[in-house]
């Protein structure tokens, strides 16, 4: 062997993409489309694209008609905006349209494929990957990544080794571990010099109430409510008006899921942070849906009390039924110790105020969440300030790129998490190709 050959490592591929979920497929497609690079995408799961298939109840909420950095939490808004701005909702729609996927927009602003079938989205991505020459292999789980002295990386597992000039780590977070995203990528990235946020917790996750909470008796009931996260000292942190669902374990539904990461992350700093439920969200005026950071509550204790008193000779039950389902109305009355046949004027002030309190700020008594197996996304991950946000290349390890949920970015319900996966995958894909071309 000549000296020259000895010094040049044999690369099996130009690029290895680790993880072929939404972000990994997007990265691989755009890296392969950019030129004549050999792109291998590996996925450890026995079935490819499970999360795309289960998303949106099997319909896949691909994106939202308006997306900006305020729809996300995690790394800084400015950094998130930089990435999102490179691949807009219009770019996303055009990209999928080219693959033959058309969309319909629901009243909520969510975009679904017109087929109402997530297979349409996954099949289009897999076809695009094949058409652009991506070599897709599974189940191939990467268990180690070693930078090579001469440049590039060796990725390895029980299946063997692969050497590549550059890699994209798109291994997701820890949500729905049976889909293959069990957090191994977060361990691998630490071996390459990166850090991971101190807290990596489930997000968009149902919340568990105290076993004695009256809410558990309402399992199956859905209502419109304002869900508030409040600090231990009673300071309003964030709230969301949307539908919520009572369950046999506690609470679920969009408003609760959206607030779950804020409550659980707040509790890492302030164990007394709590969740409040307001069942008169539109008493004052019709407020827009979705998370709000301002402290303007949709209904105060005094307003709820005045609303009760305005009912005149009406029974409180019939007053509550104007805005609440009967089951909830009866449960709140029982909880406040008020018989259903009384009018507001017949109730002593203390009981009436305690009912008003339940209507506008009922304590949810949350004791935990349902964990990563029931979470749609992961809060926490690799901080964006450890990457160049224009390219999503690592600042610590040249030739390493990242995209998707492995990064410290999580969105609210509505297609925002996929939009992050598409946008960051696009940036990582074109950037890794440019990096190798230069």
Ligand X SMILES: Cc1cc2nc3c(=O)[nH]c(=O)nc-3n(C[C@H](O)[C@H](O)[C@H](O)COP(=O)(O)OP(=O)(O)OC[C@H]3O[C@@H](n4cnc5c(N)ncnc54)[C@H](O)[C@@H]3O)c2cc1C
| Contacts to ligand X by CB under 6 A | 18-24, 42-45, 51, 54-56, 60-61, 141-142, 170-172, 175-176, 180-181, 184-185, 376-377, 404-405, 415-418, 421
**CB 168 → ligand X: shortest distance, Å?**
11
Please give the order of strands across the beta sheet that includes 63-64. 63-64, 110-113, 103-105
Kindly tell me which of 178 and 296 has the beta carbon lying closer to ligand X. Answer: 178
**CB 289 → ligand X: shortest distance, Å?**
17
**What is the C-alpha to C-alpha distance for residues 414 and 89, in angstroms, rounded to an integer?**
13
**Which of 204, 171, 161 lies closest to 74, judged by CA?**
204
Kindly tell me which of 44 and 206 has the beta carbon lying closer to ligand X. Answer: 44
Kindly tell me which of 28 and 230 has the beta carbon lying closer to ligand X. Answer: 28
**Do 302 and 359 form a contact (C-beta atoms < 8 A)?**
no
| Torsion angle of the four alpha carbons 257, 258, 264, 267, in this order, in degrees rounded to the nearest 10 | -140
**What is the C-alpha to C-alpha distance for residues 214 and 212, in angstroms, rounded to an integer?**
6
Kindly tell me which of 190 and 345 has the beta carbon lying closer to ligand X. Answer: 190
**CB 173 → ligand X: shortest distance, Å?**
7
Helix axes 416-437 and 89-98, enclosed angle (nearest 10) = 80
Kindly tell me which of 189 and 362 has the beta carbon lying closer to ligand X. Answer: 189
**CB 6 → ligand X: shortest distance, Å?**
30
**What is the C-alpha to C-alpha distance for residues 24 and 170, in angstroms, rounded to an integer?**
5
The contacts of residue 296 (CB under 8 Å, 6+ apart) are: none
**CB 51 → ligand X: shortest distance, Å?**
4
Helix axes 416-437 and 22-33, enclosed angle (nearest 10) = 30
**CB 138 → ligand X: shortest distance, Å?**
8
Kindly tell me which of 43 and 226 has the beta carbon lying closer to ligand X. Answer: 43
């Amino acid at each position: 062997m000549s000296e020259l050959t000895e010094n040049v490592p044999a690369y099996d591929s130009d690029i290895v993409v680790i993880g072929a979920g939404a972000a990994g497929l997007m990265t691989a497609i755009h890296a392969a489309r950019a030129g004549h690079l050999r792109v291998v995408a590996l996925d450890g799961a026995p079935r490819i694209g499970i999360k795309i298939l289960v998303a949106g109840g099997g319909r896949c909420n691909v994106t939202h008609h308006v997306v900006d950095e305020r729809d996300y939490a995690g790394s800084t808004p400015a950094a998130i905006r930089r990435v999102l701005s490179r691949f807009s909702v219009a770019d996303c729609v055009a990209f999928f349209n080219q693959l033959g996927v058309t969309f319909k927009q629901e009243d909520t602003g969510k975009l679904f494929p017109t087929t109402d079938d997530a297979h349409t989205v996954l099949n289009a991505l897999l076809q695009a990957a094949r058409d652009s020459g991506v070599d897709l292999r599974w189940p191939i789980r990467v268990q180690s990544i070693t930078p090579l002295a001469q440049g590039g990386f060796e990725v390895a597992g029980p299946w063997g080794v692969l050497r590549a000039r550059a890699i994209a780590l798109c291994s997701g977070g820890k949500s729905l571990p049976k889909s293959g995203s069990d957090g191994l990528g977060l361990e691998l990235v630490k071996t390459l010099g990166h850090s991971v946020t101190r807290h990596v917790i489930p997000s968009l996750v149902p919340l568990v109430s105290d076993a004695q909470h009256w809410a558990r008796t309402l399992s199956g009931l859905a209502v419109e409510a304002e869900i508030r996260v409040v600090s231990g000292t009673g300071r309003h942190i964030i709230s969301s008006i949307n539908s919520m669902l009572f369950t046999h374990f506690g609470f679920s539904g969009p408003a609760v899921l959206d607030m779950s990461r804020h409550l659980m992350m707040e509790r890492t700093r302030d164990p007394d942070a709590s969740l409040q439920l307001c069942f008169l969200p539109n008493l004052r005026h019709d407020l827009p849906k979705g998370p709000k950071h301002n402290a303007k509550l949709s209904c105060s204790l005094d307003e709820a009390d005045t609303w009760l008193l305005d009912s005149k000779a009406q029974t409180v039950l019939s007053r509550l039924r104007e805005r609440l389902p009967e089951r909830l109305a009866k449960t709140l009355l029982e909880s406040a110790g008020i018989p259903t046949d009384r009018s507001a004027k017949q109730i002593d002030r203390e009981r009436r105020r305690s009912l008003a309190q339940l209507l506008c700020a009922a304590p949810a008594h949350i004791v935990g969440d349902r964990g990563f197996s029931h979470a749609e996304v992961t809060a926490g991950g690799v901080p964006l300030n450890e990457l160049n946000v224009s390219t999503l290349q690592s600042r610590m390890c040249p030739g390493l790129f990242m995209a998707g949920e492995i990064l410290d970015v999580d969105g609210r319900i509505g297609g925002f998490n996929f939009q992050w996966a598409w946008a960051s995958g696009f940036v990582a894909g074109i950037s890794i190709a440019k990096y190798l071309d230069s």
